[in-house]
A and B are shown apart, each in its own frame.
Chain A
Amino acid sequence: MDFAYIERVLPLYERAAALTVQLGMEGILLSIVIGLVCALILYEKIPVLRRIVMIYIEVSRNTPLLVQLFFIYYGLPKIGIVLTPEVCGVAGLAFLGGSYMAEAFRSGLDSVEDIQRESAYSLGMNRMQTIHYVVLPQAVSTSIPALLANIIFLLKETSVFSAISLMDLMFTAKDLIGLYYKTTESLALLVIFYLMILLPVSIVGAVVERRVRYAGFGT
């Protein structure tokens, strides 16, 4: 181990980790929004939109993120849609994550028993109020473990961003290996930085899962 080298390249890794986290977070937030909207559309069985959402979920779940990114980054500019690498990365992650989040929310929504909805209607609540005050709070709390698992999955998926020339951790490691040939040190730093990002989320996930198991209603 060449510690002088490690000290020298550490700032590069820090910058790369910041980019990974930032783009990851943006993509995850967007995918949560997309997922929630899609899940509600499926739950409320809104005609036409429901079909579109179902197709979207199948397409997004059955294609790799790298292929999606290549299409967005290299393909779309040819028909006049030019996006920066950052926007491409976030868009790709949101496109991929939206369907996973939708599935997570859907299983949460399905776990809310019909009687909850019926009771809310009989109390005179309208559809929006029922969803907002009765169904969602229960559904979200049961889907939190799945959401956290998806967040870890999506953070891991950010590793393919390097393919569209975003200077994330993978890119930095590969670049440094090529430049200085210090393979062991560069890879060790790569593993450590990914652990620093992913381990806390994974621990939170484990703790929350244990907690939430008691938060379900009537189960």
Chain B
Amino acid sequence: MPDLGLEVLIKGNNLGRLLGGLWIAIEISLLSIAISIPLGILLGILMTRKNRLIRFLTKFYLEFIRIMPQMVLLFLVFFGTTRSMGWNLPGETAAVIVFVMWGTAEMGDLVRSALLSIPRHQYESSESLGLSRKQTYFYIILPQTLRRLIPVSINLITRMIKTTSLILMIGVVEVLKVGQQIIEANRMSSPNAAFGVFLVIFILYFVICWSVSMTARYLERKWS
């Protein structure tokens, strides 16, 4: 049996450090999704407006965010704005900003299609009952869309967790970076650490994303 470099993980607190790195990635995605949900609902409502200018602007925003690789967005915020605005943005903040921008766009599109799937008579009936526009959205439309939204937004969470692996590239010390550090530190004692460490990271990501997407699938089946 070849040396798979797994013994590095039980040395010292290495596994704990890896999990800590993973937690940073998860924290960033949970924080971003928590901010994106309300913003996304707002964007989704804006996107169903009849106003041409609003529709054009929201569509443009959505398409731009969609077509750019997330890595490019990260670079734009992390390197681009620090240079042009002259501030010093930590990688974590830049990551949250990018994921919120992206999450809002994706969420907005999901909200838009959920809103459009609500039959028109729901709007008309509530209007004929004398509810104001705000009341209509708040009491009639949003409760119905939320239920359709929850499974798809959970899917968005898994996509976000997967995408957080990219923040390594803007200098955030997350699980991959911690993995590299462990490999570097144990270069002499266990030269094959790269296999074991990256395998474990692979499995960690899989376990987390898989359980989240299983939950989404379960909810989708239950509520459809």
Contacts and interface: CB of A to CB of B under 8 A. Distances in A.
B72 A190 contact: yes
B205 A159 contact: no
B76 A184 contact: no
A66 B74 CA distance: 15
Contact of A191 (B68, B79, B198): B68
A62 B168 contact: no
Contacts of B68: 156, 191, 194
B123 interface: no
Interface string B134-170: 0000000000000000000000001000110110110
Contact of A160 (B71, B191, B199, B205): B71
Nearest to B68: A194
Interface string A189-211: 01100110011001000000000
Contacts of B168: 66, 163
A163 B206 CA distance: 20
B186 interface: no
B2 interface: yes
A147 to B, nearest CB: 17
B72 A170 contact: yes
B213 interface: yes
Given A78-B195, A170-B72, A194-B68, A62 B213 contact: yes
Contact of A67 (B63, B71, B198): B198
B210 interface: yes
Interface string A6-29: 000000000000000000000000
B209 interface: yes
A202 B64 CA distance: 11
Contacts of B209: 62-63
Nearest to A72: B198
A187 B176 contact: no
B80 interface: yes
B72 A159 contact: yes
B67 A199 contact: yes
Contact of A64 (B67, B163, B194, B210): B163
A70 B205 contact: no
Most chain A beta-carbon neighbours within 10 Å: one of B5, B79, B176, B210: B79
Contact of A76 (B76, B195, B196): B195
Interface of B: 2, 4-5, 63, 67-72, 75-76, 79-80, 83-84, 158, 162-163, 165-166, 168-169, 176, 179, 183, 191-192, 194-199, 201-202, 205-206, 209-210, 213
Given A162-B71, A163-B168, 14 more contacts: A62-B205, A63-B206, A64-B163, A64-B205, A66-B165, A70-B201, A75-B198, A77-B194, A80-B2, A156-B68, A159-B72, A183-B83, A194-B67, A195-B67
